Amino acid sequence: MKKSLVSKAAALVGALAMTFGFAACGQTNTADSSNSNTSDLKKVTFMLSWAPDTNHIGVYVAKNKGYFKDAGLDVDIVAVAQAGAEQAVNNGVADFALSNLTNVGVYTLKGAHIKQVLQVQQKPSAIWCALASNTAIKSPTDLDGKTFATFGSNESDAVVRRMIQTDGGKGEFDKVTVGTSTFQTMESGKADFGGFYATWEGVQADMYGPKLNCFTEPDYGVPGNADTIGIITNDKTIKNNPDLVKKFTQATQKGYEYAYANPDDAAQILVDEAPDANLKPEFVKKSMQVIVDGQYWGDPAKIKDGSFVLGTNDFKGAQEYFDFLAEEDAYTDSHDKIIHEAPQAKDLATDEFIGK
């Protein structure tokens, strides 16, 4: 497997998918497609970036509530391609997908032509955890010399190393590639710690176990926003069909706005619209509660008074994180040669299509 920087979101799919037995497919039961004539609507493909979860929820809500139909769109939600959602969008296999600015930067360095047109998540949600039963690990410095359950990302190596060093350690650790799930790898004793999302696996651990002892990136020296999750499309679509991009982006934005204001209802919509994922309603509702309480999609008060628009790209936070990764030699080109210059967030995203 080639060494390349991949998103934590994609890298953490094993923990999520194996635990819940998700089938990352796009089959949905929707009022948008089942109760109306879609022959006059523009067919659009949206690709999942991993299994259905609350990061994707705005798209499912927009489909269920008819926001896409109102915009003249018939949106098909499809499973992530083996090559990844970013590559599928770059090649035109999918019109839009869920990704993040970190991935957009990585793929752009390797020759892709994609952009983020809406950013959902405004602050990091990654957590780096050991089992709570492992009492030898109390802070990141205790990860020195321990074994990291990894999916092979240069990015995650850089993050873990910085956290350990900030806490006074050397930043040296062993690695084992996750073959099933991060939870199972840790419980089997093959690894001591791994990466998760506070808004998903963290919720699972709190509700169902195993209990975790976790550390967050901003507390231990990792700058910027590592989790700039949002919607991407390719440059060709932006150039040739900006009206389509605007319609999809604003309908999706409306879906996320509804989900943020009505988290329990949105959670039930995701459960109903992605039946093959076998999601538990109480779990998805708790995930949405964590997102709202943690203000991961922005300050609700500022959204309400108009001083912040949900969907706005965080160029500053993204750039700070990009610069950090470049300092850590985490970027490589298509020939695996290290690139020392960081991608520029201002060139990788645009706010021109979101509703103000």
Note the pLDDT tens digit of each residue in 148-172.
999 888 999 999 999 999 999 999 9
Q: Which residue has the higher pLDDT, 71 or 37?
A: 71
Q: Kindly provide the residue ranges of all beta strands, DSSP E only, lying in the chain, ordered along the sequence.
A: 42-47, 73-78, 96-100, 114-119, 126-131, 147-150, 174-177, 193-197, 212-216, 229-234
Q: pLDDT at residue 309 above 80?
A: yes
Q: pLDDT at residue 326 above 90?
A: yes
Q: How much is the pTM?
A: 0.90
Beta-carbon contacts of 211 under 8 Å, excluding residues fewer than 6 positions away, are: 131, 132, 133, 205
* SS3 state at 185: helix
**What is the DSSP pairing of strand 42-47 with strand 96-100?**
parallel
Q: pLDDT at residue 23 above 80?
A: no
* SS3 state at 278: coil
Q: What is the pLDDT of residue 37?
A: 58
Strand-pairing partners, residue 216, are 127
Q: pLDDT at residue 276 above 90?
A: yes
Number of H helices, E strands in the chain: 16, 10
Q: What are phi and psi of 284, to 5 degrees?
A: -65, -40
User: Considering the chain, what percentage of its residues have pLDDT values greater than 90?
Assistant: 87
Q: pLDDT at residue 22 above 50?
A: no
User: CA 237 to CA 117: how far, in whole Å?
Assistant: 12
C-beta atoms surrounding 297 within 10 Å? 23
Q: What is the pLDDT of residue 153?
A: 86
Q: Which residue has the higher pLDDT, 28 or 350?
A: 350
